[in-house]
Structure 1
Amino acid sequence: QKALCVIEFKLPYFDVFNEKELKEPARKKATRRKAKYFATSNFQKLIWYNTERVNSFRPEEEQIHDKYLLSQIENLDLIEEPKYRNSIISALESFLIDLYEVHTGKKPEPKQAIDELLIFRLQEKINRLSRYYKNIIEDKTHKDSEFSLKLQKWFIEQNWSFSWQEEDFLKAARQTAYLLINKILFYNLLQVKRPSQLDPLNIPDDLSKGGMLQRQLQSYFDYVLKEIDYETIYSADFIDQTAFPDNREVVEEIKELIRVLKHYDFSRLGYDIIGRIFERLIPAQERHNLGQYFTNPDIVDLILRFCLKHEEDKVFDPACGAGTFLVRAYQHKKLMNQRLSHQQNLNTLWGCDIAKFPAHLSTINLAINDLGVDENYPQIIRGDFFSLRLGGRKEFKKEARKRELVSLGEKKISIPYPKIVDCVVGNPPYTRQEEIPSISGDEGYKKRLISNALYDGDKKIANISKRAGIHAYFFIHGTKFLQKGGRFGFIVSNSWLDVDYGKGLQEFFLRNYKIIAIVESKVERWFSDADINTCIIVLEKCAGDRNKKERDENIVRFVYLFKPLRYFIPPAQDMWEKQVNRLKEIDKLKRTIL
């Protein structure tokens, strides 16, 4: 008997895209019943396919009409619980209404944008790998003391504290999955741009051991390291090793990911779409939870409009996270001069982050602006900003400033961090001084940090309260890199405005800067942590006794915003005209502040 749509349901642990267990059985049943559509579901998600397009091997984005989020259920014994039952019923009702309206011609067939579908597929793969990795990491941590110590050390390197809680293991698992998928996706993008130089990823079907899969993939990645660079993406550390356990399910998930990506024609994707894929690979809620890596683009653009004056300005973000400030600075410079080459642009941007994951993200987010050029190496240093000690001193030599980036390849890349820059911008971490030893795991680190920041050579340049947050030291140390007339733009906790916490920092500002503006919002929080009140601060370097009169006569703009930034600033979009219009609106807000 003819049917309109056949649906194949499986238990929640099945991958909703699984070819063998879900899609192929559903396709065969739909073909036999002459059903125009079929769907696959694992009670968490539902994917709606067009039978004819699947049978004719059309690209996946043309096969799929739509996708639906049903629930977060893991065990069908709980399906009668209201939070699962109601969610599943509501989503299925939406699907059936859409199916009816499309079939009767009341609405057109929905179409899937290639980037939206790819993001959805990759997020699904991240979720599945993370579940496996979490159990493996948790089990190994409790059974293997050496592994446990390495994991705790890795947490310290991320500026996190490890408390043996379930969320700690999940956090490690998700970063493992993100790093692996980013590497595979980035390799595919590179291979399309360099087909004569790089072979397509190819994993034998009978390969079933994690160690063998790791060696196979690393042989591809090592070639990139040796011939093209990208150390901050492809160099490996402890957490990368956990991605390849001798677990058949994990190995099959990774092999399937590689097979899925082969179906996508990356040569058709523009850099704007590629950028959107990497940007949205981490869901909004998780970006919110990883607030130290991601900063609201509206805040970033407002700070840059205050600080970035010319396309040739050198920009340094000393706690660069995922690279939002640097990526937006890249775009701002392109809008100033469309003829600016990719490498010219990269040569004026520097970032530094102590943790691997954000350094990895920053490198990708800058590199993808042009993957076809031979020289494409974003200047991202994975290291401690406070170890960059020489600043702007006269004896500052280029060789002394070089930092060798860790690599698995034979080629070692050393890049100098900047001697002097026009803009220091960023969102430095908010960590109280008393928390520094527990997070760093090193009692001596706090003393070294304070000494490196507060002294320029033998000269002490600031007195900071012992209760001030670590962001205060970013201001002091960052000043050594900023040229006269250069601008400093940070979003930070407003605790420095407190008489007790901030007296030393306030005095430092008054001796070295004209304070251009301090901006706070009365209607929205700019940090994910609800306990932290924040402000944007913009400074212009104007140090020395002979500039005292200029500093004293400067009028500081203290500004409260009674509307959210979105009221003043249009959303970021890809179209050139809309980008230009967005910056014009930000300039209008800047003029209002000034």
Structure 2
Amino acid sequence: MSIIMNENERSAAIDLITEINQYVSTVNIVIKKAGGEITMNNFKNAEGNSRKIMFPDVLLYSDTNKINLLQGWELKMPDVSVHDNTYILDAQDKAEKLGLNTTVLWNFHEVVLYVKNNGQWIIEKQWGDLLEITTREDVVKKQIIWKNFLPSLLRELNEFYHTGVIKEKKLDEISDRVTTYLIEDHKQLLADHLKSKAKENRIIDAKINEWWKVTKIEYLKDEADPYIAFSKNILLNWITRFIFGNLIMPVHDVAKCILDISTLNKPDEVNNMFEKITKISDYYTIFQAQQFNNLLPELVWNRLIDFNAFLNDKVVTHEILQQLLESSVNQFKREIIGQYTTPENVAKLLVLSTVVDSTSNDIDPCCGTGTIPKEVMKLKQKLGITEREIHDTTWASDKMMFPLQVANMALTTPTSMNMINKVFQRNVFSLANVSETVKITSPETGELMEFTLPKFKNILSNLPFVPFEIIEKNEKNFIDNVLNKLQKDTDGKIMLSRKSDFYYYIILSLNDILDVNGRIGVILSNSWLGTVAGKEFFKALSFYFNIKTIVISGNGRWFQNAKVISSILILEKKERFEEIQKNPIQFLVINKKIGELNSSEISSIANSILSSASNSLVYSIEYSLPKVESYLENKLSLNTLFYDVTWLDDVQSVLVPLTDVFTLIRGMRRGWDALFYPEKGHSIEGTYISKILKNTKDTINYDTVADADAFCCSKTIEELEELGHNGALGWIKRFETGVNKVGKPLPEVLGNSRQLWYEMRSDGATAEIITSLNPGKRLFWAKLDSNAFINQRLVGLTRSVKYSDESVDLLQALLNSIIGLFFIEASGFGRGDGVLDLSAHNVKQIKMLNPSHLTNEQRVSILIKFNKLKSTPIPNTLEGIESRERMEFDEEVLRSYGLIDNYEKIKLGLTRMLKTRLSVND
């Protein structure tokens, strides 16, 4: 049975609300006001038919402004029993959407109070005082009965409140929950509706898919369907505008038109209302209509209208306005493209660590939802800068319109609603255009004002993490401009790859809008600290800027919703390119989880960054630019320099490039493991099976065995049929109709002109010693019992001609010394899952202890100690570094090279590097 309010119920409900308000105005109980009649005024749909409304019919509040909600009542006439299951579930569902723990069913015949305990709804009390009312006519004829009963019921509910049975909810909490409901319960319905409309108009599909190309990286954690992601934007567009329209009504009379919105209005009509509000009050980025936001199914539109009516019913004070603004902004950050939304503590640290001159113009050119510019405004306010000056000097832009709606809300306060928010839509690369202007309507005068972009003293941003593979075509032109300028400015001495991370180009382009001696503070991924491309980027940075500080976390990820390891980079613009950086570069590691830092601790860390003062919350070390450059030339990664590596100055003379001693072997790579690495029990002929080491997961000892099978067949189907090799034929046929993860046939994606689609050749080089390209807690080099093939996840070594007579056991020992383990860790960077990201190219850069420096006696002593170490399973490096066998081995190696005095420094540096990388999983 579908229970929908009809005209009689609506009239009776309004009478009941009137009676409640008359009574509570004469007594001192917790219930101060009843509401709901405004929502009920919209209970008909566009065709005039009655409909089910989103909120309870009667709402009880503990304040006269209707901000603190106590309870909702669901009303029916006597012909609907309070024991009707649909009626009961409807009332409970509405209560849960509002976050309420109680609900009342009232049908003018009986009254039931339900309470939610431990996730279950139970009857707390049932009243039968109205049993004489049995028909719809009785509700009017015998109204004296229910009116006389009402005061006693309200007094009992008052007692239930004081005994803790009834719990209230504040408006910001309610808005939070209702917004989530509106999005989660209606995004699929709206997406299906848009798909249906797209069949009638293919432009819709084209637009949404083009939008998806740009934004899908931000959504893939939560949404895989572009229509659902787009529907979330549409829903949030309406919710944002209704909330903000209600908030500005006290200072902008033009916004009061939204009080008259009902389901009789079509979405296009309401869009026009918001256009009129924009012309007078501005807030264009908030009130702009999302494309296709008029294509709403009736149910979705009805729910949005109910939400607006619910907000209309409130008297919002400045204090409540501030709470609701902050709550709404936080909610929208969670709901929109927000897996990389900057955590508040990270934004606060960035701002306090970067901004020196707080009186000048600042901008976040990739502002997203406005977290960082909001922190800039808080800092300026704390320093006593007037609110108007704060708004005049704080700028925010983004290429995506929807986050700007939230950013504009985030930068608005109850006392600044007549002040211009300098929030605008631009691609970050276009900001360098000297003729670039921004047009914003003054909310104070309604006048359209034009602003020329100034040079900025501070540029702060959480830059987008965009792999080069999905950079938009139009932005590749911007990148070409950046690279051409770099080549011209440096006379071709510094060359960045066009396959670098996106933020490389953004940072270099920002130099053009930065004032002399201005500062840039940006949040980046940490990948640049451990790659060859990152070293070239560092050279480019040092050409244009004084590099002030690089910050990483030594305790957990900064972004908990995404497996991204982050860093902060702080730069200062040079007066002239030729200027030589005089001050050292600070490499700083934060020891405490950033989410657990309080405001005082964040300020303390920021002060340490600004002043280079010592601080127990951080580990910090400084190097001159020439010293950093010398370490980079010696093949260390930037990631290494957060720790004391000055001991390397004493070690250089006894090191040799790894590639002098070994030839590097790349693992076999084909791309479809199920085909090329058959599990045990296959029936493939032995002639097509080669032994291979797939990974080091099951490697327990320093000596290991290649025990996995690799399918290596270079014969055609015809040749196999002629030979009668049915095992190989059957194996190939098992995969010939298979597809990859995006639905492409395997023969198409695996085949090329050089080899058959099922072919993996076994004529490549074999390895003697191997290590993983993605080590976790264990760093080691293992020796294969006989030369074997290795998988692409591994890198292998075989002795070069020059060292072919050298003992492979001794070379393995030197690679596994504490210096050898240090060079593994120092060659990569930590990923979000805690593993080390290495590449074969980086491994090529590694140095090792030169075996030629050892006497025969030293060789024997080292091998004796190494054999003792080998007698135990390979431990987690952090745990094993203090074992007796490991310490005796390392001391013997270092003593043989005259480096024993550096032992503690080396061990401390390696330990800190490992703890930092592995902390992301704590």
Q: How does the TM-score come out when normalised to structure 1?
A: 0.73
Deviations along 1:152-198, one digit per CA (max 9) or x if unpaired, are 233345465999x8532221111100011101111111112233x44
Q: Distance in 1 between matches of 2:369 and 2:439?
A: 21
1:422 to 428, 441, 457: 457
Aligned to 2:585: 556
Q: Does residue 222 of the first structure (1) align with residue 275 of the second (2)?
A: yes
The Cα of 1:555 is off from its aligned counterpart by 2.1
1:234 aligns with 2:234: no
Which residue does 2:339 correspond to in 1? 291
Amino acid at match of 2:171: I
Q: SS where residue 42 of structure 1 aligns?
A: helix
2:352 corresponds to 1:301 = no
Partner of 2:573: 541
Supply the RMSD in Å over aligned alpha carbons.
4.2
Given candidates 90, 93, 98, the residue that maps to 1:42 is 93
* Structure 1 contact 427–492 (Cα < 8 Å) conserved: yes
Local SS of the residue matching 1:192: coil
What SS class does the counterpart of residue 346 from structure 1 fall into?
helix
Q: Which has the higher helix share?
A: 1
Tell me the alpha carbon deviations over residues 18-39 of structure 1, each in whole angstroms, 9 at most, x when there is no partner: 539x943379899999xxx999
Which structure has the larger Rg over C-alpha atoms? 2
* 170, 178, 194: which one aligns with 1:137: 194
* Alpha-carbon distance in 2 for matches of 1:256, 1:237: 20
Deviates more, 1:197-206 or 1:260-269: 197-206
Shift of 1:229: 1.7
Question: What corresponds to 1:10 in structure 2?
Answer: none
Match of 1:323 in 2: 370
Matches within 5 A, 1:176-187: 176-187=234-245
Are the equivalent residues in 2 in contact too, given 1:201–1:220 (CA < 8 A)?
yes
**Aligned residue-pair number:** 501
Alpha-carbon offset, residue 386 of structure 1: 0.9
SS of equivalent residue, structure 1 residue 180 = helix
Residue 256 (structure 1) aligned with residue 314 (structure 2): no
Q: Which residue does 1:334 correspond to in 2? A: 381
Name the counterpart of 2:422: 379
Greater mean deviation of Cα atoms: 252-261 or 148-157: 148-157
Q: How many angstroms apart in 1 are the aligned matches of 2:308 and 2:263? A: 14
Selected match of 1:155 from 212, 218, 225: 212
Say yes or no: does 1:92 pair with 2:124. no
Judged with a 3 Å threshold, the aligned counterparts in structure 2 of structure 1 residues 404 and 92 are, in CA distance, closer, same or farther, namely same
Q: Which runs of 5+ in 1 are unaligned?
A: 1-12, 56-64, 69-88, 391-395, 571-580
Aligned to 1:74: none
Partner AA of 1:513 in structure 2:
F
Shift of 1:528: 5.6
Cα deviation code 1:324-371 (max 9, x no counterpart)? 11111111110110xx33332111111221111112221221134535
**For residue 478 of structure 2, what is the aligned residue in structure 1?**
449
Q: 1:508 and 2:540 equivalent?
A: yes
**Aligned partners of 2:104 and 2:114 also within 8 Å:** no
Kept in 2: contact 1:320–1:362 (CA 8 A): yes
State the match for 1:364 in structure 2.
409
- What SS does structure 1 have at the residue aligned with 2:497? coil
- Once residues 345 and 51 of structure 1 are traced to their aligned partners in structure 2, the CA distance between those partners, rounded to angstroms, is 49
Identity of aligned residues (%): 16
User: Deviations 1:519-548 (Å, cap 9, x if unpaired)?
Assistant: 212332224675532211112223536631
Q: CA distance change for structure 1 residues 160 and 587 in 2, over 3 Å: closer, same or farther?
A: closer
Distance 1:105 1:270 in 2: 24
With over 3 angstroms needed to count, the CA separation of the structure-2 counterparts of 1:148 and 1:198, relative to structure 1, is closer
Residues 511, 176 of structure 1: alpha-carbon distance in 2 compared, 3 angstrom cutoff: same
Shift in Å at residue 496 of structure 1?
1.7
Tell me which of the two structures has the higher relative contact order, counting C-alpha pairs closer than 8 angstroms and 6 or more residues apart. 1
Per the alignment, residue 168 of structure 2 pairs with: 111
Which structure 2 segments of 5+ residues have no match? 1-50, 59-71, 125-155, 621-922
**Matched residue, 2:332:** 282
Cα distance change, pair 110–47 in 1 and its aligned pair in 2 (3 A): closer
Q: 2: CA distance between counterparts of 1:513 and 1:283?
A: 33
* Counterpart residue number, 2:881: none
Q: Matched residue of 1:319: which SS?
A: coil
Name 2:842's counterpart in structure 1. none
Distance in structure 2 (CA, Å) of the matches to 1:456 and 1:529: 37
Corresponding residue number in structure 2 for 1:389: 432
Q: What secondary structure, in the 3-state scheme, does the structure 1 residue paired with 2:499 have?
A: coil
Q: Which residue of 2 aligns with 1:471?
A: 503
Deviations 1:254-277 (A, max 9, x none): 221221111221235445313322
1:565 alignment partner AA: I
Match of 1:489 in 2: 521
Cα distance, 1:417–1:457 mapped onto 2, change above 3 Å: farther
Correspondence 1:118-133 to 2 at 5 A: 118-133=175-190
Is 2:53–2:303's contact at 8 Å kept on the other side of the alignment?
no
Could you tell me how far apart the structure 1 residues matched to 2:327 and 2:53 are?
Answer: 21
Q: Deviations over 1:435-488 (max 9, x none)?
A: 21xxx3x3xx24312133345599446632233111101110111222232221
SS in 1 for 2:231: helix
Alignment check: 8 A CA contact 1:30 1:38 kept:
no
- 1:298-342 C-alpha deviation (Å, 9 max, x unpaired): 1111111111224313211111100111111111110110xx333
Match for residue 191 of structure 1 among 237, 246, 249: 249
Q: 1:447 to 1:204 in 2, by over 3 A?
A: closer
Contact 1:432 1:470 in 2 (8 A): yes
* AA partner of residue 349 (structure 1): T
